[in-house]
Structure 1
Amino acid sequence: MSSPDEILRGLDAEQRQAATALHGPVCILAGAGTGKTRAITHRIAYGVASGVYDPHRTLALTFTARAAAEMRTRLRDLGVHGVQARTFHSAAMRQLQYFWPFTIGGSMPGLVEHKVRLLTQVAQRMRMSVDRAAVRDLAGEIEWAKVSLHTPESYPQAAVGRDLPAGWTPVTIARLYAGYEELKGAQNLLDYEDVLLVLVGLLQDEPRVAAMVREQYRVFVVDEYQDVSPLQHMLLDLWLGGREDLCVVGDSSQTIYSFTGATSRYLTDFRERFPEARQIKLIRDYRSTPQIVQAANRLLADRTAAGRRDRTLPHWPEPLELVAQRENGPDVEFAECADDEAEAGWVAERIRGLLDQGVPASQIAVLFRTNGQSEAFETALTAAGIGYLLRGGERFFSRREVREGILQLRAAARSAQDLTGTDVIDRVRDVLASLGYEAEPPAGSGAHRERWESLNALVQLAEQLAQARGDEFTLPVLVAELEDRAENQHAPAVEGVTLASLHSAKGLEWDAVFLVGLTEGLMPISFADTAEDVDEERRLLYVGITRARRHLCLTWPLARAGGRSKRRPSRFLRAIDPTLGGTRTLDPTAPGRGGAADRSRPGRSRRAASAETCRTCGQPLDSGAERKLGRCLDCPATYDENVLDALRDWRSVQAKAARQPAFVIFTDATLVAIAETMPRTAAELLRISGVGQKKLERYGPELLELLHGPQPA
C-alpha cells in the first residue's frame, strides 16, 4: 500500500482538505466534475494508511451498484482492501441475511424483483381496471410512499397535492397499497423497501443487533448525500447510533430524484444538525471546458436571480459556482431545427463529423428527457451507419459473448497465475481470439460488429487495469474484477454512441454530449407545474450539461415530424445564453455556436430555410419529409410507379442480404425522391437527402444502373 504522503500527492488543496479530514462530522459540497470520488477514496485510503481507520470497520455508501463498484476499484488501485463499498440496499440486505436466522427465525423470504405482477393481481381481485403502464406508475407511487415512511393508512393525507397516476385518487391507491402488502405477506415475500424497513425495525427493537452493527462499522462515508430518502436516512442514523464519524458528500444542484422520495434537505441542513461539522467545498471542475462550465453556472445563476426578483419563490440553497480547470474548447452549440426528424438528422450528421475528427463513438452521448424520444435518433444513426447503445437495453454482462469470454478467462487463469502486467493482456487477446476477437474491428455494423465491440471492451478493461496496477495485475485479478463488475452491472465502455435519458446519465461523462428536444413541455416537462418541480427540471438539465467534457450541443425542434411549427424553445436556453430569446433562430450548419438568425421566415432554422424549394410549386419546404422528397407533401407526385416498384424490390434484396430493416438501406421518402429526380450521375444522386457519401459508395453504381441501364466504364 502507498504511504500517506504518496496518497495525497496529486490532490488539489480542497481535495487534500477533504482527504485529511479524518474525523467526523464532515460535509463535502462537491460540484460536478470536481473529483469527489477521487477525494473520498483518497480520504479512506489516507485514513487506512495513517492507521486511523480499520478498513474492515469502514462502510462507504452510494446509490448505484455501478458507483459502488467504481469506488471499490479505485480503493483497490490505491492498495486498500477490506473496505465495504455498497449501496444502501446491498449493505442492508447483507446485514438482514446475517441477523434473520437468530432474530426472526427460519429462512429469509424471497425478494420481489418487480412489483407489477403482484399489483396486477391485487387490482384484479379488487376489480380495478389497470393497464401495464398504469401499474408501473402505481408501483412507483408505492415505492415513494414506503421510502417516505408512509403506511397505507397515512398515505392519503401524505398524497394531498401530489401528481398521482392518471385516474387514481389517494384513497384508491391506499387500498391498492394495503392489498399489495397483504398479498406480499401471504406469499412470504419482501420487496426492496422492506429490506430497509425490516432492518430498521431490528435495529430499533433488538439492542444486541444494533450493538453488533455499531461495533462492526465505526466510520461511514455517504456519497450522493443529496439523494437520500427519509427511510435511508433513518437507517443511517441507526447505524451511527449517536456517533459522529460520518462524512457526507453531495451537491444540492444535482438533486434529480425527488419523485422517488429523495431529498436534499439532509445535505443542506447538515450543519444545523452538526454545528461543529467541518464543511469543505470542491469547486474546481476538471471535467469540462470553460465554455461548458460557464453554461452550467449561468443556468443555476438564473435560478438564484429569479429567487431574488420574486420573493414568493421557494428558498433554494446558493449553488456552487464551478471554476473550470481545463483549457478552452469549442463554443457551446445551439441548433434550432424544423422538426423531430430534422433534429435527429442534424445530430447524426454532427456525430459523423466528430467521428471523422477522431472522437470515439463511446465518448459521444445523445441525452433526452423521456425514453420515447430515442426512436428518431435510433433511426437517424442507423441510416447514417453509426452504431449506438441504448442505455437501459440489454445488459453488457448478459450478452452471450461476454459470458463466454469470462468463462474462458476464468479457465485460463488457473494455468496463468504467474503472468503479470502486459503479458496478461497478450493472454487475454489470445483467449478471446477463440471467440472471434481480432485486433482490428470488422467493417460495417450489425451483430458481428457488436460482438467484436463487447470482446474489445474486455480487452480495453484489461489494458486499463494493467496500467493502474502494474506488476500486481494478473489474470486472476482480471477475472475477479469482471466477476465483481458482473454482480454489480458495472459495465466497461463499449464502442457506440450512447442514447440515454437524462436521469440515467447521472454519474457518467462523455467527450461530446447532445442535449436534444429542449422545448417547453419536455424541458421542463409538461407536468412540472410548481416552482419546485420546474427547479428540479432545471437541475436535470444542469446534470446533462455537466456530463460533457469538450463538446456540448443543445438542440430543439419547432414541430413534430411533418407538423406545423408550434413548439417553443425551453425557457432554460435563454438563461444559458440571453441572446436566444424570442423567435431568434440559429444556423446549426455553421461551425461553433451558429451564425446569424435567418429572418426570412421567423421561427424557422437556417438549416430548414436553406433546403431546396418544392420542385413542383416553388414554395419553401417545411418538414423533414418534404425536404427529403424535394416537394410539398400535398403536391402531386411525378415519379413512374414502375420505377418506384423496381427501387423497392432492389431495396428488399439489399435488406435481406444485410439482415437489416429495409428503411436502414433507404427510407421510402428517399426512394420516392430518387424515382422523381432520376439522377444520372453520382453527384446528382448525392444531392438527394438520405443518400450520403457512404451509401453512395455502396449503392450508387447499382442504383444508377437500375435507373438508366449499364453505366459507361
Structure 2
Amino acid sequence: MDPDRVLEGLDPEQLEAARSLRGPVCILAGAGTGKTRAITHRIAHAVASGVAAEQQILAVTFTTRAAGEMRGRLRSLGAPRVQARTFHSAARRQLWYFWPQVIGGPTPTLLDSKVQPVSRAAASCGLQLDRTGLRDVAGEIEWAKVTQVRPTDYEKAAVKAGRETPLAIHEVARVYEAYEELCRENNLLDFESMLELTAAMLNENSAVAERVRDQYRYFVVDEFQDVNPLQKLVLDAWLGDRDDLCVVGDPDQTIYSFTGATPSYLTGFSAAYPHATVVRLVRDYRSTPQVVRVANSTLRSASNGADSRRELVAQRPDGPEPTYTEYDDDPAEATSVARKISALIDAGTPAREIAVLFRANSQTATYEQALSDAGIAYTVRGATRFFDRPEIKQAIHTLRGARHGAADEPLVSTVRHILTPLGLTERPPEGRQARERWESLAALAQLAEDMAGGESGGDSGRVTMEDFVAELDARVATEHAPELEGVTLASLHSAKGMEWDAVFLAGLTEGMLPIVYAESAEQIEEERRLFYVGVTRAREFLSLSWALSRSPGGRRNRKPSRFLDGLRPASPSLAQERQRRGQGKQARTVSCRICGAAVTEAAERKVGRCRDCPADYDEELLERLKQWRSGVAREQKVPAYVIFTDATLQAVAEQVPASSSGLAQIPGVGAAKLERYGAAVLDLCAGSAPARPEDEGDPDE
C-alpha cells in the first residue's frame, strides 16, 4: 500500500494527525469533525509506512458499534488485521487466555447485569428493593468499583463525592459488601472486576506482561474524555513504560461523570506527556451552518465562558433554520412531532435517518404511541439487543445453513429469498409485534445490500453468501447490530456517537433538562453538554420543543429549559426567567444551627448543621416522610430521590416547617417541588394524612 495514497482526501488538521505516527499524540476532535476518519487513516498510514504491524495495533473504543465501524474502515484502507475492540472485550480476551496459568480453576461466569446478584445481596441485608432501586444500587456499586473504592471506604467516598444515593449511605455500603461476597462465593465476575484482574495480572506477572506488551505496541483510544480510573489502570498496564499512545476525545462531550468517567485524563494529557503532539479538529462536516451555530452558542453560554479554540467551523452548505416550538401539553407535542416526521418521510427522508431524543427513557412512551397512531415504524434504542431477538437467531441459523449451496448466487436476492418465509414481505405488516419482527429481518436484508454495494468493505458484484455469513458472525461476536429501518427513539446519553439527517429534541423543560436533581454548577454544566450532544447529532433538520403541561387541561406550570435562552425567539417572560435564575444562583453563607460554624458540603447545607454535630430530628416524622416519598415514587414511576433526597427529608424532619414559606427555605425544596409536594409534606409535619400531590408537571425519569 502506498503510504501517500492513504492520506488523500484529509483536511490539513486531519493530515497533521495522520502524519503524527509516533506517540504520544492527543487529538481534540469536536463533534462531526471526522475523528474516526483521522484515526483510521493514521493507523493505516502507520501500517503502510512500516511504523507498526497490523497485529501490533490495538484500537480501543467504548461501544461495539464504534469498534465495528472502525474495523470496517480499516478493512477498506487495507489494514483488516488491526484489533479494534472495547476495553471490556480486549481485557476479557486477555484474562480468559491467561486464566489457567495465572489464576487457575474454572473461569468465572461473567455477569451481563448486576441486578440479580444485587437483589440477592440486598435480601441478605434484610432489604427489599424494587427494580428501579436495584438498578440504582447497582449503579452505585459500579461507580465505586470504577473509582477503586472498596466497600469499607464507600461511605466516606460517597459523602466526599456528593453522591445522591438511593438508600442511606451505610445501607448501600452493606449491600456492596454483600454483593462482593456473593460474587466470590459463586465464582461470578462483573465487568469492573474483570478489568481490575486484567490490570493486576499485567502488573504482577512479568511473563504475562511481556507477552501482552510484545503483542500490542501501538495504541489508539477513542472517546478518551469518557475513560474512568479503572480503564486508565488497564491502559497503563498495557502501555508499561512506553508512550506510543494516541488519544482522541472532546471535553465538550463529557456526559458520563456520574458513572466515574473523567475528562481530566484528556485535558491533562499534555501535562502527563509534555512532549505530546496536540492536534485540534474543528471543521464540522456533519451539520449545516445553522445547526453548528446552535451548538457553538450552547457552549458559549457555559458558565466557564467561551473557548474560541472549541468553536466548530461548518463545512456544509446552508440548510433549514432550527425550529423552536412550544406546546400546551406532552400529547400535543408528540402528535405534532409525529406529523412533522411523516412529512419528512413523505418528502424522501428515510425513517432510519430521523431520531427523537429525550433526557429520560420515561419520555419514550408518549412518542411510541404517537408514531404508532401515525403508522410510522420506529425502534427504541437500548431495548432488546438485536442479536438476542428470536427472529434474528432463526434467520442467522438459516443463512448459515444456506451459505454453501448459494455460493455463486447474487447476494441480495438470495438473502431476501431466504428471509421471505421467515416474515420479510414486500411491505411491513400490521400490528406492532409483527412489524418489529419485519423490521429486524429488513435490517439483515439492508446489510446485504450495503455489503454488495461496497459499504462494508466488499467489492460490488464479488461479495458472496460466505462473506455475508462471516460478517454476521463477526457482528454477533461483537454485538455490532445493523441499523434498523424506522425512526429512532433514544435518550440523549444513548444517542452519543450517532447521527441522523433529522433530529427532534423533545421535552426541553426545566426539571427535565437540566434534570431536577442536577443542583451543583458542575452538574448543570454536564446537563448543558448533554444538550450539546443532542444538538450535534443533527445533520440538516433540527427541531427543539417543549410542553407547558404534562396532560391536556393540566396546569401550564413548566418553563422552557434555560439552555434555550439566547437560542429561541425572545418572549416577554424571558428576561424575568433569567433574572429569577440569577437570583437563585447567588451564593449563600450557611452556618451550622448547632455550633455556628460555616458549612460547605451540599448534604450539610441541606440539613443546616455540621455532619458531626448531634441531630435533633423527629425520627417518626422522618420515617413517615420516607414512606410517603416511596409511595409517590411508585405512583409516578420515578426514583425516590427525584421526589426529595434523603438529606432534604432529614432537613424537613429537623426543622418541621409549619408553612409554605418555611418549607421553601429548606435547600432542595424549589418552587416546582413546593407546588407539587408542599401540601403533602406540611400535612405530614402537622401529623395529618398527606394531601395528594398535583399530577401535572411531575418530573419524569
What TM-score range do you get, normalising by the shorter chain? 0.7 to 0.9
Per-residue CA deviation, residues 558-614 of structure 1 (Å, 9 max, x unaligned), is 111031110000000014347357259xxxxxxxxxxxxxxxxxxxxxxxxxxxxxx
Residue number in structure 1 paired with 2:504? 514
In 2, the alpha carbon distance for the partners of 1:25 and 1:578 equals 46
Per-residue CA deviation, residues 123-162 of structure 1 (Å, 9 max, x unaligned), is 2222234222111101100100100011112222211154
Quote how far apart the aligned CAs of 1:29 are: 0.6
Letter of the aligned partner of 1:437 in structure 2? Answer: L
Per-residue CA deviation, residues 61-90 of structure 1 (Å, 9 max, x unaligned), is 011111111111221222212211111111
In 1, the alpha carbon distance for the partners of 2:84 and 2:399 equals 26
Quote how far apart the aligned CAs of 1:112 are: 2.2
Residue number in structure 2 paired with 1:110? 109
SS of aligned partner of 2:422: coil
Residue number in structure 2 paired with 1:83? 82
- Is the 1:4–1:50 contact (alpha carbons within 8 Å) kept by the matching residues of 2? yes
Residue number in structure 2 paired with 1:408? 398
State how many pairs are aligned: 571
Label 1:174 to 1:406 Cα distance change in 2 as closer, same or farther (>3 A).
Answer: same
Letter of the aligned partner of 1:96 in structure 2? Answer: L
Residue number in structure 2 paired with 1:435? 422
Label 1:380 to 1:583 Cα distance change in 2 as closer, same or farther (>3 A).
Answer: farther
- Is the 1:92–1:199 contact (alpha carbons within 8 Å) kept by the matching residues of 2? yes
Per-residue CA deviation, residues 529-563 of structure 1 (Å, 9 max, x unaligned), is 01110010000010000111111000001111031
SS of aligned partner of 2:570: helix
1:564 to 533, 555, 561: 555
- Is the 1:573–1:580 contact (alpha carbons within 8 Å) kept by the matching residues of 2? no
In 1, the alpha carbon distance for the partners of 2:406 and 2:220 equals 37
- Is the 1:410–1:479 contact (alpha carbons within 8 Å) kept by the matching residues of 2? yes
Task: Map 1:62-461 to 2 at 5 A.
Answer: 62-162=61-161, 164=163, 168-303=167-302, 306-308=303-305, 320-418=310-408, 423-438=410-425, 440-442=426-428, 446-461=432-447
In 1, the alpha carbon distance for the partners of 2:103 and 2:225 equals 33
Per-residue CA deviation, residues 356-396 of structure 1 (Å, 9 max, x unaligned), is 11111111111001111111111111111212111122322
Residue number in structure 2 paired with 1:497? 487
In 2, the alpha carbon distance for the partners of 1:389 and 1:582 equals 38
Residue number in structure 2 paired with 1:470? 459
Label 1:236 to 1:167 Cα distance change in 2 as closer, same or farther (>3 A).
Answer: closer
Letter of the aligned partner of 2:390 in structure 1? Answer: R
Is 1:527 the counterpart of 2:517 in the alignment?
yes
Letter of the aligned partner of 1:576 in structure 2? Answer: L
- Is the 2:70–2:84 contact (alpha carbons within 8 Å) kept by the matching residues of 1? yes
- Is the 2:507–2:545 contact (alpha carbons within 8 Å) kept by the matching residues of 1? yes
Quote how far apart the aligned CAs of 1:196 are: 0.7
In 1, the alpha carbon distance for the partners of 2:126 and 2:159 equals 24
Quote how far apart the aligned CAs of 1:449 are: 3.9
Quote how far apart the aligned CAs of 1:427 are: 2.5
Greater alpha carbon shift after TM alignment, 15-24 vs 271-280: 15-24
SS of aligned partner of 1:576: coil
Letter of the aligned partner of 2:80 in structure 1? Answer: H
Letter of the aligned partner of 1:204 in structure 2? Answer: N
- Is the 1:25–1:244 contact (alpha carbons within 8 Å) kept by the matching residues of 2? yes
In 1, the alpha carbon distance for the partners of 2:166 and 2:40 equals 47
SS of aligned partner of 2:219: strand
Label 1:160 to 1:460 Cα distance change in 2 as closer, same or farther (>3 A).
Answer: same
In 2, the alpha carbon distance for the partners of 1:165 and 1:274 equals 35
TM-score (norm: length of structure 2): 0.78
In 2, the alpha carbon distance for the partners of 1:119 and 1:223 equals 31
Greater alpha carbon shift after TM alignment, 512-521 vs 406-415: 406-415
Residue number in structure 2 paired with 1:615? none
Task: Map 1:30-69 to 2 at 5 A.
Answer: 30-69=29-68
Residue number in structure 1 paired with 2:657? none
In 2, the alpha carbon distance for the partners of 1:11 and 1:579 equals 41
Letter of the aligned partner of 1:261 in structure 2? Answer: G
In 2, the alpha carbon distance for the partners of 1:119 and 1:432 equals 41
Residue number in structure 2 paired with 1:631? none
Quote how far apart the aligned CAs of 1:93 are: 0.7
SS of aligned partner of 1:579: coil
Label 1:278 to 1:537 Cα distance change in 2 as closer, same or farther (>3 A).
Answer: same
Per-residue CA deviation, residues 674-697 of structure 1 (Å, 9 max, x unaligned), is xxxxxxxxxxxxxxxxxxxxxxxx
Label 1:188 to 1:361 Cα distance change in 2 as closer, same or farther (>3 A).
Answer: same
Residue number in structure 1 paired with 2:645? none
In 1, the alpha carbon distance for the partners of 2:449 and 2:125 equals 57
Quote how far apart the aligned CAs of 1:241 are: 0.5
Greater alpha carbon shift after TM alignment, 14-23 vs 509-518: 14-23
2:564 to 558, 566, 573: 573
Is 1:480 the counterpart of 2:464 in the alignment?
no
In 2, the alpha carbon distance for the partners of 1:269 and 1:541 equals 24
In 1, the alpha carbon distance for the partners of 2:198 and 2:227 equals 17
SS of aligned partner of 1:266: helix
In 2, the alpha carbon distance for the partners of 1:263 and 1:342 equals 39
In 1, the alpha carbon distance for the partners of 2:440 and 2:186 equals 40
Per-residue CA deviation, residues 43-76 of structure 1 (Å, 9 max, x unaligned), is 1111112221111111000111111111112212
In 1, the alpha carbon distance for the partners of 2:129 and 2:420 equals 50
Letter of the aligned partner of 1:569 in structure 2? Answer: P
In 2, the alpha carbon distance for the partners of 1:291 and 1:8 equals 30
In 1, the alpha carbon distance for the partners of 2:432 and 2:151 equals 50
Label 1:337 to 1:161 Cα distance change in 2 as closer, same or farther (>3 A).
Answer: farther
Label 1:209 to 1:302 Cα distance change in 2 as closer, same or farther (>3 A).
Answer: same
Per-residue CA deviation, residues 610-640 of structure 1 (Å, 9 max, x unaligned), is xxxxxxxxxxxxxxxxxxxxxxxxxxxxxxx
Quote how far apart the aligned CAs of 1:408 are: 2.7
Per-residue CA deviation, residues 411-464 of structure 1 (Å, 9 max, x unaligned), is 232134456xxx3223323333343435x4246564444433323222221222
Letter of the aligned partner of 1:464 in structure 2? Answer: D
In 2, the alpha carbon distance for the partners of 1:358 and 1:108 equals 52
Letter of the aligned partner of 1:429 in structure 2? Answer: R
Per-residue CA deviation, residues 16-46 of structure 1 (Å, 9 max, x unaligned), is 2212211100000111111111111111111
Per-residue CA deviation, residues 332-373 of structure 1 (Å, 9 max, x unaligned), is 000100111111111111111111111111111110011111
In 2, the alpha carbon distance for the partners of 1:177 and 1:503 equals 26
Quote how far apart the aligned CAs of 1:208 are: 1.4
Is 1:551 the counterpart of 2:541 in the alignment?
yes
Quote how far apart the aligned CAs of 1:99 are: 1.2
Name the larger-Rg structure. 1
Gaps of 5+ in 1: 309-315, 585-713
Gaps of 5+ in 2: 576-701
Label 1:40 to 1:166 Cα distance change in 2 as closer, same or farther (>3 A).
Answer: closer
- Is the 1:287–1:549 contact (alpha carbons within 8 Å) kept by the matching residues of 2? yes
Greater alpha carbon shift after TM alignment, 232-241 vs 126-135: 126-135
Per-residue CA deviation, residues 655-703 of structure 1 (Å, 9 max, x unaligned), is xxxxxxxxxxxxxxxxxxxxxxxxxxxxxxxxxxxxxxxxxxxxxxxxx
SS of aligned partner of 1:330: coil
In 1, the alpha carbon distance for the partners of 2:541 and 2:324 equals 11
Per-residue CA deviation, residues 445-490 of structure 1 (Å, 9 max, x unaligned), is 6444443332322222122222222155322121111122122222
SS of aligned partner of 1:428: helix
In 2, the alpha carbon distance for the partners of 1:318 and 1:181 equals 47
Is 1:542 the counterpart of 2:532 in the alignment?
yes
- Is the 2:287–2:539 contact (alpha carbons within 8 Å) kept by the matching residues of 1? yes
